[in-house]
Structure 1
Amino acid sequence: MSGTIRTKGGRGRLGSVLSGLAVAVGCVLFLGGFVGGALLYQPFTVPSDSMTPTLDVGSKILAERIDGDEARRGDVVVFQDPLWGSSPMVKRVAAVGGDTLACCDRDGRLTVNGTPVVEPYLRPGPGGRTVASGQDFSVTVPEGNLFLLGDDRNTSLDSRTHMEEAGRGSVPRSAVIGRVDAVVWPAKGLLTPPEGFAALPGGVSRPGPFNALLAAVAGGTVLILAGAAYGPVARRLTGRRPAGPRRPGAREKVGA
């Protein structure tokens, strides 16, 4: 009676199929994350220290491409306005069209339509005291415009500097290029939502898709590496080695 040699070929083929599928899915996620990032985000370098400590000069940031109509109070936006200069600039939206913005109340805070705004991201001034502005002002923002301020209110040249110009220092929403979502160098990650503006009508913007895209790239990388490693790992675990030379005349017993 002759015997039958059983092999693990079926299991091996299944493992190969699954590893190939993992690599394929990983490539889709990896490339999808990068392509999505390129379509949705635009990189910029912070040109000045007017946004410290939120954004240091020279920081590499990613700005989500948005229409200016999507900008809300508290957003850090990249914009370009010929009255401010020829290069893109980065500031925070303090008020939108129709708002009356004033500074400062007795606690040194901005007020938007009479509501005080807490701004924990501001850089302290001389003596360690934090105030929303070193100069008092009151302005009603024209419809369709944005009033923009730096986070270092002691040095920033912003809408306060241009208040004698048309639009009372504000810029049109059409000047907005993008909304800063993340700082990639130095790696600070996502910007903290501006909770001080959350109680005002319209609320604040939600974080962009940066985390989802980053997760897709990371997950894709893991799947590609895991799928590519399957073959060598499986061979090591099963102890398979290349067959050596057979002795002349040697016969293999396969059954009884």
Structure 2
Amino acid sequence: MGGESTTGTAPRGRGATTGPAAGRTARRLSGLAVALGMVLFLGGFAWGAVLYRPYTVPTDSMTPTIGAGDRILAQRVDGADVRRGDVVVFKDAAWADAPMVKRVVAVGGDTVSCCEDGKLEVNGKEIDEPYLPAGKAAEASGFAGVTVPEGRLFLLGDERRTSLDSTAHLTDAAGGTVARSAVDARVDAVVWPLDGMLPRPSGFAELGALSSPGPLRLLVRAVVAGVVLILGGAAYAPLAERAARTRARKGATGVR
């Protein structure tokens, strides 16, 4: 009839089926996101526990790279994989009855000495060491050339004035060197305070390949991604169901 107002109700079947179906889909997607997030989160922590060991550094012999009381993460490595410039955790009974942290400056077959022009020399090459305290020489007191035996390492602290390192053991039977097998781990990062990954020891690059960083960044990304997926997945289902119910209500009644 002309002029008649036509208000009507849309078929209820459409709203009734759309809401529950959308809710089931949302719950499935939410569960999938949470499950994937748990895999990344727990997998990242488990992988990290296998590959890395935490240490607390008790002295300032590695400042400014690592300060006294800092917490570090060190990747478990075979001593055979250690290269020049690495900061390593090792234990040698002739040095101390506890793990120590020092920097490898020479490996088997190298000749190391100090100091002309205030710089360390390895195989006759002056080494640029930007990690040393600003304005400090490469060694508090010089030492003549030391040839490192095969299978051994020559190690120094970054704070050369106070570090009890290879220079303090030059008169030992091993000439201040440490066996590669004494190395337990290679330091990747300072985690407290949050100084992050150790800088690359580029001054040794001309003497041979440097060690590649460990997978710590990848592990952190996996854990963070896991947290995001868990929180996002948990929030998605109720939000999606609420949106579906709102759409169903709007579709149930219309004005034409």
Compute the TM-score of the two structures, normalised by the length of structure 1. Answer: 0.88
Q: Which runs of 5+ in 1 are unaligned?
A: 241-251
Cα distance in 1, alignment partners of residues 197 and 222 from structure 2: 16
Give the drift of 1:239: 5.1
More helix by share: 2
Counterparts of 1:17-32 in structure 2, within 5 Å, are 17-32=28-43
Give the drift of 1:152: 0.4
* 2:13 counterpart residue number: 5
Which residue among 98, 102, 114 is the counterpart of 1:103?
114
Paired amino acid for 2:180: R
* 1:243 counterpart residue number: none
* 1:246 counterpart residue number: none
Per-residue CA deviations over 1:80-101 (Å, capped at 9, x if unaligned) read 0000010100000010011000
* 2:6 counterpart residue number: none
| Paired positions, count | 236
Paired amino acid for 2:94: L
Which residue among 130, 143, 150 is the counterpart of 1:143?
150
Give the drift of 1:237: 3.1
Which residue among 81, 92, 100 is the counterpart of 1:70?
81
Per-residue CA deviations over 1:51-91 (Å, capped at 9, x if unaligned) read 00000001000110001011100000000000001010000
CA contact (8 A) 1:41 1:65 kept: yes
Superposition RMSD in Å = 1.9
Cα distance in 1, alignment partners of residues 173 and 60 from structure 2: 26
CA contact (8 A) 1:68 1:174 kept: yes
Runs of 4+ in 1 over 4 A off after TM superposition: none
Secondary structure (helix, strand or coil) at the match of 1:161 reads helix
Cα distance in 2, alignment partners of residues 187 and 37 from structure 1: 17
Counterparts of 1:1-256 in structure 2, within 5 Å, are 3=11, 5-6=13-14, 7-8=17-18, 9-105=20-116, 107-124=117-134, 129-137=135-143, 138-201=145-208, 203-238=209-244
Cα distance in 1, alignment partners of residues 58 and 176 from structure 2: 20
Q: Which runs of 5+ in 2 are unaligned?
A: 1-9, 247-251
Per-residue CA deviations over 1:153-212 (Å, capped at 9, x if unaligned) read 1111100000000111010001101000011100111111111011112x2111101000
Compute the TM-score of the two structures, normalised by the length of structure 2. Answer: 0.88
